Amino acid sequence: MSTVSVRYIVTDVDTAIAFYTERLGFDLDIHPAPGFARLSRGALRLLLNRPGAGGAGQAVPDRFVDMLALAGTPDEVREQVQRVLTVPEVTRIILLPQNPGQGFIERESILRTFAEQVMARLG
């Protein structure tokens, strides 16, 4: 199974590390700077960035989100991911959960659904 990297922008990297390692069973791979950490669990790699920490911590323009978003039911998203993975130039998918007005726990639910109902069922 291919490894999939999910980038998540968090306000407190240390709190997010504790949450994902202690509550969800992720392993901490690297934490080289206060604004970045990489965790993993099976084929899922979670990249945590503090806003403004490096290029990946910058906001994504809405027009890119509209063009490249994965949206729909888990079955629809799984089909979209399968299509994306057929493109030879695509080496990773970066998931940025968008749930306006919601906090950390609600976004974590999106990531859990993606991991369990999309990635775990790719054939």
Q: What is the CATH number of the domain that holds 9?
A: 3.30.720.120
CA distance 38 to 57: 14
Give residue 25's domain range: 4-121
Q: Hunting for tokens 């030879």 — which residue is that?
A: 88
Band of pLDDT at residue 55, cut at 50, 70 and 90: low
- Both tokens of 98, joined, read 């968008």
| Total number of domains in the chain | 1
Q: Residue 66 has what pLDDT?
A: 43
pLDDT at 38 over 90: yes
pLDDT by residue (tens digit) across 66-114?
A: 446 777 788 888 888 887 778 777 777 777 777 666 666 677 888 888 8
Which pTM does this prediction carry? 0.47
- DSSP 3-state assignment of 28? strand
Q: Residue 122 has what pLDDT?
A: 85
Residue 116, Cα to own-chain centre: how many angstroms? 13
Q: Residue 8 has what pLDDT?
A: 86
